[in-house]
Amino acid sequence: MLLQETWQKGLQWDDNLPKDLKDAWENWCSEIEHLSELTAPEIEKAELYWIKQTQQSIFNREIDSLKREKSIEKDSKLYSLNPKLDENGLLVVTGRLQFSEFSQKEKHLWILPNGEKFTILLIQYAHKKVLHFGIASTLAHLREKYFITKSRKNVKSVLKNCIICKKFNAFPGKQEIAPLPKDRTVEFLTFLTCAVDFAGPIYIKTRTGSEKAYIVIFTCAATRAIHLEVATNLSTETFLLPFKRFISRRGLCKTIYSDNAKSFIKANKILNEVWSRISKSKVQQYFFENKIIWKFIIPRASWWGGFWERMVRSVKTPLKKILGRSCLN
Ligand SMILES: [Zn+2]
C-alpha cells in the first residue's frame, strides 16, 4: 500500500519521500519484526477485517438491505443462499443445518466473492494446507469455514497457476521421431540384419547340481523374428557355440547390432564381462572371415538398442513367470 501511495503521488525513484510517507515506512519497518509474534486473537481479528472488506467491496447492496432488515433483491447472486448477518456484521449462509449440533461457524459459513484477492489468497493457503492435493480436497478444506461463490471454478483457476503443481504435472517435451534406418525397413532375408543380446540368468541342471546360464537372443531387425540359444557360461568360446548354431540354422547374417559393453549399467556386471570377452580377437576373427559387420551402439545410449531390448523383455517376462527359480534340464 505504501508503494501504491508513492506511485499515486508520482514520485521518481530518486526523489525524497514526503514526511508522512517516511514516517509510515519507518513505522512499518519497526512493526515487521514483530510479525512472528502475532497472537491467535490478533490473527482472528485480521481475518474478520479482511472478510468484511472483501464482502463490502462486492456485496455492499446486500449488506445494506440486511442491515435495514429488508430481504435482498431477487436479482442478487446471493438470493438463493438466503444470507444473513452474523454477530460481527458479516454475511453468512443460513443453510439447512440450524438444528444440527455443529458449531455456529460450521452451520453458517462466511460468504466470499469469487475472484477477489483475499479469496484467491485463502484458496492458495487451503491448497498448501492440503499438501497440494486437487480441487476436491482444497474445496473441502475451504468449506469448513467459507462459502465462496462459484467456488469450484475459482479453485480450479487458482490451482492451475500453482507453480509446484505445474512442475509435477508437466509433460515431458515432445520430439519428432526420426525415420527408421534402412536396416529396419527394407525386407531382405530374415536375420540378414539382426541384433544380439543376453537375457537371464536362468538355472540349468548339471551332474553336480545347478549352474547359471544365459539366453542369447537374436532378433531380426526387419521382421522382428526371434531366435533363442543358450550360453552355458560367459566365456567367448561359449558364446561362439550358440552363434554358430544360429548361423547354421538361419543362414549367415550381414550386419549384427549389439549393445556396447560400456553402456551396460553397473548392476549388469556379468553381461559386461560377456561383451568385453566377445570383443577380443578370436570372435572378431570369425566375423572377419565371414564378412559380418558388427555394429556397436554408442556407449551410454541404451535407447539406441530399443528394437532388441523390447524383444528381450518379451522373452524375459513370460520366462520369469513360468520358470521362477526352477532348474532346466
Ligand atoms: Zn499446488
- Tens of pLDDT along 19-72? 888 888 888 888 777 777 778 888 889 999 999 999 999 888 888 888 888 888
pLDDT at 288: 59
Distance CA 222, CA 239 (A): 24
Cell of 266: 553397473
Checking phi first, is residue 171 left (phi over 0); if not, alpha (psi -120 to 50) or beta? beta
Cα separation values, 84 from 56, 68, 70, 108, 183, Å: 14, 12, 11, 9, 78
| pLDDT tens digits, one per residue of 259-298 | 764 433 333 444 445 555 655 666 666 665 666 677 777 7
Q: In the 3-class helix/strand/coil scheme, how is 34-69 assigned residue by residue? A: CHHHCCHHHHHHHHHHHHHHHHHHHCHHHHHHHHCC
Cα 190 to ligand 1 centre (Å): 53
Which of the listed ranges 31-40, 179-188, 223-232 does the model predict with the highest average pLDDT? 223-232
**Sequence-distant (≥ 6) Cβ neighbours of residue 143 within 8 angstroms:** 109, 151
Query: What's the mean pLDDT in 150-164?
Result: 92
Residue closest to 228 by CA, chosen among 144, 126, 316, 158: 316
CA-to-CA distance for 252 and 249, rounded, in angstroms?
9
Q: How confident is the model at residue 190 (pLDDT cuts 50, 70, 90)?
A: confident
Q: Ligand 1 mean position to 135 CA, how many Å?
A: 10
Q: Which of 118, 102, 106 is nearest to 49 (CA)?
A: 118
| 237/278 Cα distance (integer angstroms) | 9
User: What's the N-to-C CA distance of the chain in angstroms?
Assistant: 84
How confident is the model over 77-84, as a mean pLDDT? Answer: 84
What distance in angstroms lies between residue 151's CA and the mean position of ligand 1's atoms? 17
Residue 137 CA, ligand 1 centroid: distance in Å? 12
Instruction: State the distance from the centre of ligand 1 to the C-alpha of 162, rounded, in angstroms.
Output: 5
Q: Would the pLDDT of 203 be above 90?
A: no
pLDDT digits (tens, 9 = 90+) for 93-110: 887 777 887 877 778 889
CA–CA distance from 20 to each of 5, 14, 26, 216, 269 (Å)? 11, 17, 10, 85, 75
Q: Give 107 Cα–ligand 1 centroid separation in angstroms.
A: 29
pTM reported for the whole predicted model? 0.51
> Which of 114, 101, 117, 102 minimizes the C-alpha distance to 146?
114
Distance 160 CA to ligand 1 centre (A): 8
d(CA 51, ligand 1 centre) in Å? 24
Ligand 1 center to residue 318 CA distance, Å? 41
CB atoms within 10 A of CB 17: 16
Cβ burial, residue 90 (10 Å; 0-12/13-18/19+):
buried
